[in-house]
Structure formats: C-alpha cells, structure tokens
Amino acid sequence: MDHFHRRYRSAWPQRRTTLDDSLFKAVCECQKAQCWKCLSATATYSEVFRASPVERIQIIRGGVSARWARSIFTDLGLGTVQGYLVVGLAPATVNRKATLGSALTLAQGERIIGVARMIGQVQHMTERNQAPPSFDPVAWFGDWLRSPLPAFGGACPMQFLDTMEGQALVSSTLERMESGAYS
C-alpha cells in the first residue's frame, strides 16, 4: 500500500460517495488537475471513455472504489446485486468493501472501469450524433444491456460483461451500431 492509501485509508469510511462526489479531492494533497488517484473516485463516464489506456490503467492500479461500482449499476438501473453478478463480482464482497470504503481488486476494478468506459462511449455517441436533450444515454444503455440481440446469438449484451474480451465485443457492437454497420 503506497503512502497516499496508507495515510488516508481511515478517512474513506467517513464520507459517502457517488460518481459526482469528490471523495479523494477532499483529502488528497496533490491538487493536480489530472491526479488519477483523485479521478478514480470522481471520474465521469465520459472522462473514463476519453482517457488513454495508460490513464485507465492508472485508475485501476490506483484502486477503484467499491462505492463507485455500486453507483454505476444504480445509474444503469440494473440494481447492485444483478450488476455485480453480471461482471462476475460477489455481491457480499463488494458490499463489504463499499461499507469499509475499500477498493476492489485489480481484476474487479478493471471490469468496473470497462463498464464505465462503455457508458462513456454511449454518452460520446449521443453527443456526436446530437441526440435530443431529453435522451438519457445511461438509461438507454442499461435497457440495451438487458435486451436479447441477434448480434449476440439472441443473448443479452450484459451476459458478456464478465470478461474483458466480452466487454470488447459489446463495445465494438456499439461502434458498429453508430456507424450503421450493425445488422
């Protein structure tokens, strides 16, 4: 455990966080605009999508908050238990880590960042295609994940989120949909 996490670990349980809450910025001394230890708890989905692979790796290595995972699945309308199971996480473990303010393991964090990246991808698609302001890309993505699709052999896209290869398949399907190559 590095100096930052050792020093501020006791501060984590006292603050509740959501995607927009500033958990680390309230306690981090760095005050850098691009501090990935700060951003890993407060990043928007678009920021995760627009981050380079190296920056996303830094977020993952910095520790992805279990509380952030909880908020992602709530935003998607999946419910936390179903959401955790979809990405291959044990609900009891994630809930315990969220209560303690702990970070997920690297593998767990990587899958959560992958889901956040795809939400950001959908947001970026809607911005680029000038969707009406009333369109909610996060809710749409949550519904789309639960819909059986021919591109997945009649399975729901959410059934592929438990592996990085599956997440890449879902992401490339979204890209094909936007370009019109989806059938």
- With 0-12 CB in 10 A as exposed, 13-18 as middle and 19+ as buried, what is 154? exposed
Over residues 15-22, mean pLDDT: 35
**Is the separation of the CB atoms in 124 and 50 below 8 Å?**
yes
pLDDT band at 25 (very low <50, low <70, confident <90, very high): very low
Q: What is the pLDDT of residue 2?
A: 43
Over residues 70-76, mean pLDDT: 89
Query: At residue 119, does pLDDT exceed 80?
Result: yes
pLDDT band at 30 (very low <50, low <70, confident <90, very high): low
Q: What is the domain partition of the chain in residue ranges?
A: 3-179
Query: At residue 33, does pLDDT exceed 50?
Result: no
* Token pair recorded at residue 120: 């950001």
Q: What is the pLDDT of residue 21?
A: 37
